[in-house]
Structure 1
Amino acid sequence: MTDITSVRSTRIAAHRPRLADHSADKRMLVLAAMAVVTGTGGALAAWILLHLIALVINLFWFQRLSAQPAEIIDAASGPLVLVVPVVGSLIVGLMARYGSDKIRGHGIPEAIEAILYGESKLSPRVAILKPLSSAISIGSGGPFGAEGPIIMTGGAIGSLFAQRFRLTAAERKTLLVAGAAAGMTAIFGTPVAAILLAIEVMLFEWKPRSFVPLIVSALVAFAWRPLLVGQGALFPFDGALPGGAIALLLAAGLGCVSGILAISLSSALYRVEDGFHRLPIHWMWWPALGAVVVGLGGLLEPRVLGAGYASIQDLLDGRLLVGAMLLLLTAKGAVWLVALGSGTSGGVLAPLLIIGGALGGVAGHWLPGGSGPWAMIGMAGVMSAAMRAPLTSAVFAAELTDHFAALPMTVAASGAAFAVAVLLLKRSILTEKISRRGRHISQEFSVDPLALGMAGDLMTRDPETLSDGLTITEAVRYFESSARHRSYPVVDAGNRPIGLVSRRDALRWQQHGDDDTTIGDQLSDRSLPIVTPGTPADAVANLMITEETGRICVVAADTGVLVGIISRQDLLRSRAAVLRGEMERSR
């Protein structure tokens, strides 16, 4: 018979977790080193994307082969405004059908799906076609920004790099998100906002294993940015907001209005998308139909064409009159909704900034401080409500403009807009698309109830046991007549557990006929997972999964004597206590 004492001491050592505030280990350092590559790759992808957009703009609108920055508004006149968006959208539709349909849309929902349901694996085809199709879409006049495409492209770079190594799905997720944050940092020069966006929207966890590599990747991209893209704030402007409680209340009020506007945009987007789905033609042609509306909008207001970064700067500088801002708000909103609903390739962030900036700029004509500073507040509010990322939005507005003194105001607007959005709309503009594919995502983070309890708190004390000297015949008779549970721990003369016997074992023994051997003899070659009262409940749950058992014996740490047993039902009781804390009200 196996030496139970040696087996017992080994099992206790194997399943006694290292208790600490965090689960970090040396793998965090390995991922942080790998994040240097994702940060560099994301920065290079941003440089390529920006040059591709400039190349397409010059080619389509100015008929010249150049990658120098150019503005569509300088050439947007006459029949060209109607023709170019349609041609660009036809190319994107062909690329989506015959290349990869994952390039359709704004990219962030696809990245989330890859993280949660695809083991964080993205294909090389997406890494190539997404920036190329987005450059054609934006460069031909599509009313989008580069942030969604670069998030998808940077994420694809991180995923492809991770797939070259032997990593877990969770570690691949870390590098995918790190690449996405690096791309966003390189485009906008907002490393803190990129890190917060990853946490609020993409990571679905808060662990050092993912947080530290994320910081490394974003800062590496930020270090590359002056050499590849440029340095300094993307949209600096002069002007300041008033301080004090009244200003904070005004910012919160504008945030509430921004939240209602963002809800309207999100609802309208998916109504437009539903309309395209009812068309009796293949989805490959939808972007071209949407581009017709884009061209008509460009005839009405050329500022709606392309990413519109110049329009964002004009809003912040306070150069636009109220009528021009109202026209920009309605026209940009309309063409963006139709174009994005058609399934073409492009982002949501720049359009949200323009729409929110126009709303804030209009309000700023009647608020202290002028239209420019309030345009910044409107941007933070609309972005927060649409993407359900209040911290990201508040910091993003400050980093974009280099107005960090306005953080209390952007926080007030973002928080109010977020509150309105979560109360009035079930899902964000990002998660609604995923929900329509039959998947539900909860964006609420909370501590796992199992992480708060110990095995000693949840176990059933002094459980019924069977002696290892019991014969097989006696054990079968016991299960037939007296057993109240599905399984029982088997203990030796010192009350130390050596195994578990279940009704299934008794049935198998019964089929083999009477046997005078003991249970101890039958269990001599089995391993037994055991824990101590100080083992965290979540470690017990993990042990149940890995050992494929529904009950775990709990032994005294010093003697190995059985003191209790934990079942799946015991683990569920810890969650029941949390539910009571959420639902029961008392003084």
Structure 2
Amino acid sequence: MLYTTDMFSAWYLRSAAYIRTQLHAIVKNDARNVIFVAIIIGIVSGLAAVVLKSTVHFIQSLLISRKESDYGYWLFLLYPLAGILLTAIYIRFFHGGVFDKGVGNILFAIFKKASKIERHKTYSHLLTSGVTVGFGGSVGLEAPIVITGAAIGSNVGNYFRLSYKQKTLMLACGAAAGIAAIFNSPVAGVLFAVEALLFGVTVSSFVPLLISAATAAVVSKILYSGQPFHLITSGWEVQAIPFYILLGLFTGLISLYMTRTTLYLEEKFSGIKSYWRKAIIGGLSLGALIFIFPPLYGEGYDSINFLFSEKAVLLFDNSLFHQWKYVPAVILIYLAGIIAVKILATSLTLASGGNGGIFAPSLFTGAVTGYFFAYAVNLTGLVELNVVNFTAVAMAGILSGVIQAPLTAIFLIAEITGGYALIVPLMIVSAISFFFIRYFEKYSIYTKKLAEAGVIDPENKEVTAVSNINIEEIIERNFTPVSPDASLGELVEVIAHTTRNIFPVVNESGKLMGIVYLDDIREIMFNQDLYSTLFVTDMMSRSLVTWDISEPVQNAIHKFEKHNVWNIPVTREGKYDGFISKSTLFSHYRKQMSEITKM
């Protein structure tokens, strides 16, 4: 028998469909088999993290090797621009210039897209962030790998046709796996998913998260061994507690500065309409900052290790201030300058078209902040602080404040620095920083814009549930509009062909003029003498309570409660669009609350 290509293709498609159906049945019929899916997500996300780290390391090794030439250092003025332009070109021509970045977009997908993330995000963030950071973009790889992992989890969930609840959990598994793999820190990965993505989580949900994160960490450990940081410490001293408290306040202040500066520059750059102008301005500005402060290049993890080794003088290598690197006052000024401009470099990278995250900049800024603080105190001669300990603890303080996830910050630093010897100072500084910034900023850098837009409210599940109601699903349009010039006879004819008892009165331009209630005309509707002499405009109620499609759904709830009505007409751009009923709205609200509570 001769086998043709068409026969083979048909066999392949039938086999793939059969396997998919069987796997779907296995996963759907036994919740315990969700662990199987979590392992798959962990493996794939771990491989994605290894590819990303290897790509960045390869690009940076190529570029840094050119330093040896006479003009090598001057190229670092242009490298960031090249990376941002390459990223912008890819986004412009392959994604039409529309490319969602940042962890906030995962939250948007969870609550507004039923946890569905576009398939291209399983690879597009690897490409763009790899080029951005590899060429010196002053951002981290964590947000891109979190989005990549979440996209992997979401699409695997789609493949197995999982429910919204299960798909959301798989999405979170991918995010946890991404953090676990990039830092070799599974516990921090799980805590990040719980604190940043899942507002309410059951105990049973922890198992898939742990399995996925642990799997990704093992894959990363095998293929890309080594911790990002190397910290040697024998513990901490109780006498230093007052200074850890002060450090917590200081890191809280720096976190507030970072959060507001990032959002401010992002808003300013959004006003630049030209795609290429934005990339050139941001790229050249970033290059200039890196030329003045070389440690701003890339993630900055090498600089953190210099600080852990108490070799701050190495931060001066290739800088304009190299000749003064042993002068204490210059060291303090230089470190303060890095703290001040790091977030500018990060914001320029992101706002001008590059791709990356705020995790690494937070860790870098925290390390420099902690070293600066301890070094300055030690210069007074009044006390001798352990500079390395303060460097590590401040990393947690800044991260806790910026992303407002203190548990993630505490356990991330504990894991990536190789031990839990500093767990108490980590708790003190992270907690104080967290409460300090929460006094000024209710929302984290991930959720602030979403909260302001009414999409989610991490502090109020009820508000989140209401904002996630699909407006189009609750608008009822099977009401028959009548003209204000229609006679009573014409209105009775309309009534005879509908089961509704409310009739919107709409003029020729579509504007809602009033409402006719069946109860109001019941006594006269059979008086044929009035059929041609009484008109709708004489019978309609002009006292209207309306809700416009552009308003938050919360406004509709408030109007139902305030005016004690059961139906409210909906307008769109000033024109009648339908009705929403109190029963339908609250039914959808209860459904959303149930989904959020079960996450």
Please state which band the TM-score falls in when normalised by the shorter chain: 0.5 to 0.7
Once the two structures are overlaid, the 10-residue window that deviates more, 139-148 or 206-215, is: 206-215
- Would the aligned equivalents of 1:364 and 1:371 in 2 still touch at CA under 8 Å? yes
Shift of 1:98: 2.5
> Which residue pairs with 1:133 in the alignment?
128
Aligned counterpart in structure 2 of residue 422 of structure 1, from 424, 435, 438: 438
2:94 alignment partner in structure 1: 99
Amino acid at match of 2:309: D
Q: CA offset at residue 81 of structure 1?
A: 1.2
Residues 228-247 of structure 1 correspond to what in structure 2 (within 5 A)? 228-231=223-226, 233-244=227-238, 246-247=239-240
Classify the secondary structure of the residue corresponding to 2:78.
helix
Match in the other structure for 2:271: 278
Choose the corresponding residue for 1:152, options 147, 167, 172.
147
Shift of 1:104: 5.0
State the match for 1:253 in structure 2: 246
Change in Cα spacing, 1:225 to 1:337, as seen in structure 2 (3 Å) is: same
Matches within 5 A, 1:518-537: none
Could you say if the C-alpha distance between residues 105 and 91 of structure 1 is closer, same or farther in structure 2, counting changes exceeding 3 Å?
A: same
Corresponding residue number in structure 2 for 1:3: none
Are 2:36 and 1:33 equivalent residues in the alignment?
yes
2:256 is the alignment partner of 1:263: yes
Amino acid at match of 2:371: G
Letter aligned with residue 286 of structure 2? V
Tell me which moved more, 363-372 or 207-216.
363-372
Letter in 2 for 1:42: S
| Shift in CA distance, 181/386, structure 1 to aligned 2, threshold 3 Å | same
CA drift at 1:178: 0.5
Distance in 1 between residues matched to 2:395 and 2:122, nearest whole Å: 29
User: Kindly tell me: are residues 109 and 214 of structure 1, through their superposed partners in 2, closer, same or farther at Cα, counting changes over 3 Å?
Assistant: same
* Residues 106/327 of structure 1: CA separation in 2 closer, same or farther (3 Å cut): farther
Question: Equivalent residue for 2:364?
Answer: 354
Comparing 363-372 with 89-98, greater Cα deviation is found at: 363-372
Could you give the per-residue CA deviations for residues 461-480 of structure 1, whole angstroms, max 9, x where no partner exists? xxxxxxxxxxxxxxxxxxxx
1:294 aligns with 2:286: yes
* Aligned counterpart in structure 2 of residue 335 of structure 1, from 330, 336, 345: 345
Measure, in 2, the Cα distance between the counterparts of 1:378 and 1:277.
32
Q: Is the 8 A contact 2:240 2:385 kept in 1?
A: no
Q: Distance in 1 between matches of 2:97 and 2:135?
A: 20
Aligned AA (1:262): S
Identity of aligned residues (%): 26
Moved more, 364-373 or 264-273: 364-373
Out of 175, 178, 181, the position equivalent to 2:170 is 175
1:15-30 matches, cutoff 5 A: 27-30=30-33
| Aligned-residue offset at 1:73 | 11
Structure 2 CA distance for aligned equivalents of residues 179 and 74 of structure 1: 43
Cα-to-partner distance string for 1:489-545 (whole Å, 9 max, x where unaligned): xxxxxxxxxxxxxxx9xxxxxx9xxxxxxxxxxxxxxxxxxxxxxxxxxxxxxxxxx
Following superposition, the deviation at residue 137 of structure 1 comes to 0.2
| Cα separation, 2, equivalents of 1:168 and 1:75 | 60
For residue 368 of structure 1, report the CA deviation from its aligned partner: 4.1
Aligned residue type for 2:265: V
| Shift, 1:440, TM fit | 3.8
Aligned partners of 1:99 and 1:125 also within 8 Å: no
Structure 1 residues 331 and 264, CA, compared in 2 at 3 Å: closer, same or farther?
Answer: closer
1:490 corresponds in structure 2 to none
CA contact (8 A) 1:248 1:408 kept: no
> What is the CA–CA distance in structure 1 between the aligned matches of 2:207 and 2:96, rounded to whole Å?
33
How many residue pairs match? The answer is 427
**What's 2:414 paired with?**
398
Q: CA 1:49–1:229 in 2, change beyond 3 Å: closer, same or farther? A: same
Unaligned runs of 5+ in 1: 1-24, 64-71, 449-503, 505-510, 512-549, 551-566, 576-587
Find 1:187's aligned residue among 182, 185, 204: 182
Residues 381 and 26 (structure 1), Cα distance of their counterparts in 2 relative to 1, 3 Å cut: farther
1:44 maps to which residue? 47
Asked if the contact 1:89–1:287 (Cα under 8 Å) also holds between the matched residues in 2, the reply is yes
1:34-113 counterparts in 2 under 5 A?
Answer: 34-62=37-65, 77-100=72-95, 104=99, 106-113=101-108
Deviation of the 1:392 alpha carbon: 0.7
Greater shift, 50-59 or 352-361, is seen at 50-59
1:175 positional shift: 0.9
Contact 1:316 1:375 in 2 (8 A): yes
Relative to structure 1, the CA distance from residue 127 to residue 103 in structure 2 (aligned partners, 3 Å threshold; closer, same or farther) is farther
CA contact (8 A) 2:50 2:223 kept: yes
Provide the C-alpha distance between the structure 2 equivalents of 1:109 and 1:361, rounded to a whole number of angstroms.
Answer: 31
Deviation at 1:209, TM superposition (A): 4.5
- Say if 2:233 and 2:421, in contact at 8 Å, map to a contact too: no
Give the counterpart letter for 1:166 in structure 2: R
Contact 2:87–2:353 at 8 Å: present in 1 too?
no
Which stretch shows the higher mean deviation, 288-297 or 415-424? 288-297
2:405 maps to 1:389: yes
Q: Which residue pairs with 1:518 in the alignment?
A: none
- 1:123 aligns with 118
Q: CA deviation at 1:201?
A: 0.3
Residue of structure 1 equivalent to 2:208: 213
Kindly state the Cα deviation for residue 446 of structure 1 after the two structures are TM-superposed: 7.9
- Structure 2 distance, partners of 1:256, 1:383, is 13
Matches of 1:296 and 1:105, distance apart in 2 = 27
Using the TM superposition, give the Cα deviation of residue 182 of structure 1 relative to its aligned residue in structure 2, in angstroms: 0.8
Q: Structure 1 residues 427 and 284 mapped into 2: Cα distance closer, same or farther (>3 Å)?
A: farther
- TM-score scaled to structure 2, two decimals? 0.65
Provide the TM-score with structure 1 as the length reference: 0.67
Determine whether 1:143 maps to 2:158.
Answer: no
Q: How far is 1:147 from its partner?
A: 0.9
